[in-house]
Amino acid sequence: MFTHLIVQPIFNLLVLIYALMPGHNFGLSLIIFTIVIRLLMWPLVKRQLRQTKLMRKMQPELKRIKREAKGDKQKESLMMMELYKERGVNPLGTIPILIVHLLILIGLYSGLRRVIDDPKNMFDFAYPALQHLGWMQHIAHHPKDFDETFFGVIDLTRSAFGPMGTYIPALILVIGSAAIQFLTSRQLMPVSKDSRKLRDILKDAGNGTQADQSEVNAAVGRSTQYIIPFMVFLFTVNLPSALSLYWLTGGLVAYIQQSIALREDEEDMEKLADVKSTKNVSEIPEAEIVSQPSQAKPKKPKTSKKKSTKRRKK
| Domain ranges (residues) in the chain | 2-192+208-271
The pLDDT mean for the chain works out to 77
For residues 27 and 147, give the distance between their C-alpha atoms in angstroms, rounded to a whole number.
Answer: 9
pLDDT of residue 261: 80
Looking at residue 93, its pLDDT comes to 67
* Residue 252: band (very low, low, confident or very high) from pLDDT cuts 50, 70, 90: very high
Closest CA to 80 of 218, 213, 224, 216: 213
pLDDT score recorded for residue 279: 47
In this prediction, residues 227-239 reach a mean pLDDT of 89
What is d(CA 159, CA 19) in angstroms, rounded to the nearest whole number? 25
Task: Reply yes or no on whether the pLDDT at 218 is more than 70.
Answer: no
Residue 208 region, left (φ>0) first, then alpha (ψ -120 to 50), else beta?
A: left
User: Rounded mean pLDDT of 205-234?
Assistant: 68
| pLDDT value of residue 308 | 46
Phi, psi angle pair for 149, to nearest 5°: -105, 170
What phi, psi does 155 have (nearest 5°)? -80, 110
pLDDT band, very low/low/confident/very high, at 51 (cuts 50, 70, 90)? confident
In 3D space, the residue among 164, 138, 173 whose CA is nearest the CA of residue 30 turns out to be 173
Q: List pLDDT tens digits, range 8-21.
A: 999 999 999 999 98
Instruction: Quote the pLDDT of residue 78.
Output: 85
Question: Does 297 have pLDDT greater than 70?
Answer: no
**% the chain with pLDDT above 70:** 72
Longest Cα–Cα distance in the chain: 132
Taking a C-beta distance cutoff of 8 angstroms, is the pair 243, 108 a contact?
A: yes
pLDDT for 310 equals 44
Residue 60 pLDDT exceeds 70:
yes
What value does the mean pLDDT take over residues 133-158? Answer: 88
Cβ neighbours of residue 90 closer than 8 Å, sequence gap 6 or more? 51, 84
Mean pLDDT score, 174-203? 73
Provide the terminal-to-terminal Cα distance of the chain, rounded to the nearest Å: 115
Taking residue 164's Cβ as centre, other Cβ atoms within 10 Å add up to 9
| pLDDT(99) > 90 | no
pLDDT surpasses 50 at 307:
no
Whether the per-residue pLDDT at 282 is higher than 50: the answer is no
Work out the average pLDDT over 270-282.
Answer: 49
Please tell me the least confidently modeled range out of 76-85, 104-113, 279-288. Answer: 279-288
The pLDDT assigned to 161 comes to: 92
Average pLDDT over residues 104-121: 86
**Most confident range, picked from 72-81, 87-96, 154-163, 269-278:** 154-163
